[in-house]
Amino acid sequence: MGVDICTYSKHNLDTSNVVTLAKDLFKRLPVNITYGYYSNKKHCELLGIKPTEEFVVLENLVNNPKLRTFVLYDEKYQQKLLYTTFGKDILTNPKYELSFYGNPTQQNVEKEINSFEYPQYLLEIEESQYHLVDHIQSMYIYKDFIENDMQYFSRWYYFRDFYDEQKYKVDFNTLKRLQSYRESLHYYTKKLGGTFCYFIDDAGNCCTQGVEYEVYWKDLKNLIEKNAGKQLTNIALLNIHKAPQKKQTIQKTPSLAFVDDFRDVKTI
């Protein structure tokens, strides 16, 4: 299997619940938003409503019918509703399905409760509009940071080697495509309240896989910078536009992570 890029940046969105988040996104981005959740039959029974296994639309927010529509999913909507309605005891009910595989032991119940403090929402372009894009645009929204996949550039090793091996000095066609990728990242980072973003691989070489589910931005930032150390490369400081340049010695130790503060990008 290939290794992909994960890009993280801080946000100041209201993630209190899916309603406030949807309306906050709706104000900031030029898109239409449908928001809701996937229902679970067992959870429906516990809530005393008709058992279904389907996507439940809570509301459609329309800026302009001609704009693209994105769907915002609350991944734990019914679990949180059950917990706030019935309390801790509901989590050991045989019909309650934990957010992760496991028996309702005390440790797993505490883990479930703790997970409610770290919300996870998915914003994704509506399936009927897949044909309009060459990449399924999406974004995971956590408590105070996002994982941005709204535009695709490449897999991890191609991205890493493009910078580490200084290919940007000779491959200007790829550099142009890369700049478009950075401009997209810059746009969403700034619009949602951030100033820079990190790039790491999804294979766990810099951070343990799944760490984003249980940390805040400051913890993730510290973790990336600590683990990457001197193998953290600042993209904006590479002066990639000052070509031609003298050939430099290619670094022997591959980058574990990259950071981009977009100081050379003027999107907003």
* pLDDT, tens digit, 9 for 90 and up, residues 15-27: 999 999 999 999 9
* pLDDT, tens digit, 9 for 90 and up, residues 185-197: 999 999 999 999 9
Q: Is residue 265 a part of any domain in this protein?
A: no
Task: Report yes or no: 118 and 213 within 8 Å, Cβ to Cβ.
Answer: yes
Torsion of Cα atoms, 147 then 163 then 223 then 204, to 10°: 70
The answer to whether the peptide bond before residue 119 is cis (omega within 30 degrees of 0) is no
As for how many domains the chain has, the answer is: 1
One-letter amino acid at 186 equals H
Residue 139, beta-bridge partner list: 123, 148
Give the predicted TM-score (pTM) of the model: 0.91
Amino acid 140: pLDDT:
97
Q: Is residue 122 a part of any domain in this protein?
A: yes
| Distance, CA of 252 to CA of 80 (rounded, Å) | 48
Shortest CA distance to 169 belongs to which of 215, 238, 122, 218?
A: 238
Q: Is residue 79 a part of any domain in this protein?
A: yes
Say if strands 197-201 and 5-10 run parallel, antiparallel, or are unpaired: antiparallel
Q: Is residue 267 a part of any domain in this protein?
A: no
Domain carrying residue 181: 5-260
Q: Is residue 70 a part of any domain in this protein?
A: yes
Q: Is residue 142 a part of any domain in this protein?
A: yes
